[in-house]
Amino acid sequence: MECRGHGYWSHALLVTLVSSAVILLLFAFNHCSSPISIPAPSASAATVELLRLADSMLLSPPATPIGRSSQNLASNASLLDEHTVHSEGTHRQKQKNEKKKKKSDGDDGAVEEELAMARAAIRRAASRRANASSVPAHGEGVPLLSTIYRNPTAFFRSYTEMERRFRVYVYEEGEPPLVHEGPCKNIYTTEGRFIEEMEITRPDSGSRRRLRTWDPARAHAFFLPFSVTNMVHFIHRPSPYDHTTFKRFVADYVDVIASKHPFWNRSAGADHFMLSCHDWGPHASRSNPNLYENSIRALCNANTSEGFDPRKDVSIPEINLYTGHVPRQLLAPRLPGLASRPYLAFFAGGLHGPIRHLLLRHWKGRDAGLPVHEYLPHGLDYYSFMLRSRFCLCPSGYEVASPRVVEAIYAECVPVIISKSYVLPFSDVLRWESFSVSVAVEDIPRLKQVLEGVSMAELSKLRDGVKAVKRHFVLNQPAKRFDVFHMILHSVWLRRLNIKLV
């Protein structure tokens, strides 16, 4: 706004200059020794004209100068007050508009600050690695056995920071059964149960561990709740290797999210995650370049030779619940101890993939103490064999993941991992060597020798680790602390923190 006092003094200065010009002109006219060649009005006429101009300017001061009288001061104060109120009102409105714009655009300053605070707290805990054999878990009846974690103190601090801060926004776009629903039994149980748990989780449920938010501006991660398994079931074409239909659906779904919300474009999908236990989950993610390259992909098929990146992607366990519930044989309060397990190792499964082909070729029907079957003979119970075996063989099939890993853990049978390029679930937190044995594919012919080389003392420690880690692979309804649902979210949380628990 232009200052009125400045305009008044400029006006007075102009009048002074004009008056000086009149005097100089009169002086020049009266003392000039040579005639003026350019026709001009007479001296008296010029003088009269300039004086008239000066008088008119003096008689017409600015309309509202800032005067010195008390009346003018009061008037001027009123004008300044009106200007101040108008400026403050405009400033407040501008601030409101900026806040509204930040909220609609997803201002992530506060979110990043929370992540930074959590990151610092976890690093402090990691530097104070605990030497105790167990780490207390508040609200849990059984402590966390420290030997199964890479850094137990850092893990527990990271988990509590997740419960305190982590918020996930679930997109509401899309309709069941392709979105917001998934299979809750059979081999894709993990996919459906996770989607279901995210859908029924409510921020206003009264729980102190509210991991879902309705406010996307507060979210640290955004969940794309589509089910690849349901897409394959409902819209897949008969051709067994035609991925066109469900890849088009995923591409269209991401386009809708990107057009309706600012969050996908803000990060190029880097703070978004999808989850799938179907073998074709990785193929579905290729439908959008940012989904494949930037987003967090929680996959059962965690195969590094097919593009799985453990720095940003999450390996999740494949859980096969035929009826939707853990088999009753595995729910006994006390399962058989090592002394009651006569078999060294056990496997039964179809001839799926080259690793199983090699295993069956070398060991099918070869050793009564190491029963290996392609399919169990009629009348024999699969879980009874697991409960009577010290080791349970978990070879990869067509894909790297196998539901036998979780089945072995439920049966408190030490898993024997036989695979290539497989990133084991939650391996950024868990020390798999403390509760499982890995056997290279090339060592399958020496399998019995390798397993018999494990001493009873070491085997006992491995089994203790299996019992301790079981809680992290159990699906609960509703979800409980440290179960598989929360462990999956914790893995996503670590990717958002971009930190390793070592």
Residue 93 is predicted with a pLDDT of 56
Q: Is 215 helix (H, G, I), strand (E, B) or coil?
A: coil
Exposure class string for 169-201: b at 16+ Cβ within 10 A, else e: bbbeebeeebbbbbbbeebbbbbbbbbbbbbeb
Residue 202 is predicted with a pLDDT of 73
Strand partners, 223: 170, 273
Whole-angstrom distance, CA of residue 224 vs CA of residue 294: 14
Q: Which helix (H) or strand (E) segment is 46 a member of?
A: helix 43-58
The dihedral built from the CA positions of residue 464, 346, 418 and 487, taken in this order, carries a sign that is negative
Listed in sequence order, the residues at least 6 apart from 165 whose beta carbon sits closer than 8 Å to its beta carbon are: 114, 115, 117, 118, 220
Question: DSSP of 142-200, one letter per residue?
Answer: SPEEGGGBSSHHHHHHHHHHHHHH--EEEP--S-TTTBS----SBTTHHHHHHHHHHHH
Task: Tokens 């695979």: give the residue.
Answer: 419
Whole-angstrom distance, CA of residue 468 vs CA of residue 218: 35
pTM of this prediction exceeds 0.85: no
Residue 5: CB atoms within 10 Å: 12
Residue 257 is predicted with a pLDDT of 98
Residue segments in the chain with a per-residue pLDDT below the cut of 70:
1-107, 129-143, 203-209
Whole-angstrom distance, CA of residue 182 vs CA of residue 231: 10
Omega of the bond prior to 342 within 30 degrees of 0, cis?
no
Q: What is the domain partition of the chain in residue ranges?
A: 110-322+481-497, 328-473
Residue 151 is predicted with a pLDDT of 93
The dihedral built from the CA positions of residue 86, 87, 89 and 93, taken in this order, carries a sign that is positive
Q: Is 454 exposed, middle or buried (0-12, 13-18, 19+ CB in 10 A)?
A: middle
Describe the crossing of helices 189-200 and 484-497 by its angle, rounded to 10 degrees: 80
- Contact (Cβ atoms closer than 8 angstroms) between residue 181 and residue 192: yes
Q: What number of residues does the chain have?
A: 502
Whole-angstrom distance, CA of residue 139 vs CA of residue 486: 15
Residue 139 is predicted with a pLDDT of 55
Q: Which helix (H) or strand (E) segment is 205 a member of?
A: none
Q: Is 372 helix (H, G, I), strand (E, B) or coil?
A: strand
Omega of the bond prior to 177 within 30 degrees of 0, cis?
yes
17 φ, ψ to 5°? -65, -40
Architecture of domain 328-473: 3-Layer(aba) Sandwich (3.40)
Whole-angstrom distance, CA of residue 188 vs CA of residue 179: 15
Enter the DSSP assignment of 441: G
Whole-angstrom distance, CA of residue 355 vs CA of residue 349: 12
